[in-house]
Structure 1
Amino acid sequence: MKQICTRCGKERGGLELKCTRCGGPFKLEVDFPFSRNLRENFPYVKEWVSLGEWNTPMLKGDLYYKLDFLNPTGSYKDRGSVTMISYLKQTGIREISEDSSGNAGASVAAYGAAAGMKVSVFVPSSAKGNKVKQIVAYGASVVKVNGSREDVELAAERSGLYHASHVLEPHFRDGIRSLAYEIVRDLGWESPSEVYLPVSAGTLLLGVHEGFKHMLREGVIRDMPKIVAVQSKQVSPLCSVVNHEDYDPPENVTSIADALVSTNPTLLREMLEAIKEGECVTVSDDEIVDAWKDLARKGLLVEYSSATTLAGYKKRKDKDMAVLVLTGSGLKTI
Structure 2
Amino acid sequence: MPCIVRCIRCGNVRKNEELRCPVCGNLYEIYPDFKFQDDYEKNFPYIKKWVSLGEVETPIVNYGEVKFKIDYYQPTFSYKDRGSKVLISHIRDITPSQNISTISEDSSGNAGASIAAYGAAAGLKVKVYVPKTVSGQKFKQILVYGAEAVKIDGNREDVQIAAENSGYYYASHVLRPEFRDGIRSLAYEIFMQTEKMPDHIFIPVSAGTLLIGLYSGFEHLFRSGEIEKIPNIVAVQAEAVSPVCAKLNGEQFDENSNATSIADALVSKKPILLEKMLSILRENGKCIRVSDNEIIEARKELALKGIYAEYSSSTVFAAYKKKKLENSLLVLTGAGLKND
Please say if residues 191 and 223 of structure 1, whose CA atoms lie closer than 8 Å, have aligned partners that are also in contact: no
Distance, in Å, in 1 between the alignment partners of 2:260 and 2:192 is: 38
Q: Which stretch shifts more, 170-179 or 42-51? A: 42-51
User: Secondary structure at the residue paired with 1:135?
Assistant: helix
- The alpha carbon displacement at 1:250 in A equals 5.4
Tell whether 2:150 aligns with 1:143: yes
- Tell me which residue corresponds to 1:239: 245
- The alpha carbon displacement at 1:290 in A equals 1.2
**5+ unaligned residues in a row in structure 2: which ranges?**
none
Task: State which of 19, 26, 29 in structure 1 corresponds to 2:28.
Answer: 26
Task: State which of 257, 265, 272 in structure 1 corresponds to 2:263.
Answer: 257
- Tell me which residue corresponds to 2:302: 295
Distance, in Å, in 2 between the alignment partners of 1:297 and 1:126 is: 29
**5+ unaligned residues in a row in structure 1: which ranges?**
none
- The alpha carbon displacement at 1:114 in A equals 0.4
User: Secondary structure at the residue paired with 1:29?
Assistant: strand
Tell whether 2:181 aligns with 1:174: yes
Runs ≥4 residues deviating over 4 A: none
Q: Which amino acid aligns with 1:74?
A: F
Q: Which amino acid aligns with 1:147?
A: G
Q: Which amino acid aligns with 2:337?
A: L
Q: Which amino acid aligns with 1:114?
A: A
- Tell me which residue corresponds to 2:213: 207
Q: Which amino acid aligns with 2:79?
A: Y
Distance, in Å, in 2 between the alignment partners of 1:82 and 1:272 is: 27
Task: State which of 103, 114, 135 in structure 1 corresponds to 2:110.
Answer: 103
Tell whether 2:335 aligns with 1:333: no
User: Secondary structure at the residue paired with 1:213?
Assistant: helix
Q: Which amino acid aligns with 2:78?
A: S
Question: For residues 215-230 of structure 1, what are the structure 2 equivalents within 5 Å?
Answer: 215-230=221-236
- Tell me which residue corresponds to 2:316: 309
User: Secondary structure at the residue paired with 2:237?
Assistant: strand
Distance, in Å, in 2 between the alignment partners of 1:174 and 1:253 is: 31
Question: For residues 42-61 of structure 1, what are the structure 2 equivalents within 5 Å?
Answer: 42-61=44-63
TM-score (norm. length: structure 1): 0.97
Shift in CA distance, 303/8, structure 1 to aligned 2, threshold 3 Å:
same
Aligned length: 332
Question: For residues 160-199 of structure 1, what are the structure 2 equivalents within 5 Å?
Answer: 160-188=167-195, 190-199=196-205
User: Secondary structure at the residue paired with 1:289?
Assistant: helix
- Tell me which residue corresponds to 1:67: 70
Alpha-carbon deviations, 1:124-178, whole Å to 9, x = none? Answer: 2343501011001100011122333222211111111110000000000000000
- The alpha carbon displacement at 1:94 in A equals 2.8
Q: Which stretch shifts more, 162-171 or 270-279? A: 270-279
Q: Which stretch shifts more, 118-127 or 323-332? A: 118-127
- Tell me which residue corresponds to 1:13: 15
Distance, in Å, in 2 between the alignment partners of 1:51 and 1:312 is: 32
Distance, in Å, in 1 between the alignment partners of 2:113 and 2:257 is: 24
- The alpha carbon displacement at 1:61 in A equals 1.7
Please say if residues 156 and 267 of structure 2, whose CA atoms lie closer than 8 Å, have aligned partners that are also in contact: no
Q: Which amino acid aligns with 1:113?
A: A
Please say if residues 260 and 267 of structure 2, whose CA atoms lie closer than 8 Å, have aligned partners that are also in contact: no
- Tell me which residue corresponds to 1:38: 40
Shift in CA distance, 88/135, structure 1 to aligned 2, threshold 3 Å:
same
Distance, in Å, in 1 between the alignment partners of 2:56 and 2:19 is: 26
User: Secondary structure at the residue paired with 2:287?
Assistant: strand
Please say if residues 234 and 250 of structure 1, whose CA atoms lie closer than 8 Å, have aligned partners that are also in contact: no
- Tell me which residue corresponds to 1:322: 328
TM-score (norm. length: structure 2): 0.95
Q: Which amino acid aligns with 1:186?
A: Q
Q: Which stretch shifts more, 70-79 or 5-14? A: 5-14
Q: Which amino acid aligns with 1:300?
A: I
Alpha-carbon deviations, 1:281-306, whole Å to 9, x = none? Answer: 01111111111111000110010110
Q: Which amino acid aligns with 1:47?
A: K
Please say if residues 184 and 192 of structure 1, whose CA atoms lie closer than 8 Å, have aligned partners that are also in contact: no
- The alpha carbon displacement at 1:274 in A equals 1.3
User: Secondary structure at the residue paired with 1:323?
Assistant: strand
Shift in CA distance, 101/229, structure 1 to aligned 2, threshold 3 Å:
closer
Q: Which amino acid aligns with 2:325?
A: D
- Tell me which residue corresponds to 1:79: 82
Alpha-carbon deviations, 1:37-89, whole Å to 9, x = none? Answer: 12211111121100122411111122211011111101000000000000110
Please say if residues 235 and 250 of structure 1, whose CA atoms lie closer than 8 Å, have aligned partners that are also in contact: no
Distance, in Å, in 1 between the alignment partners of 2:238 and 2:158 is: 23
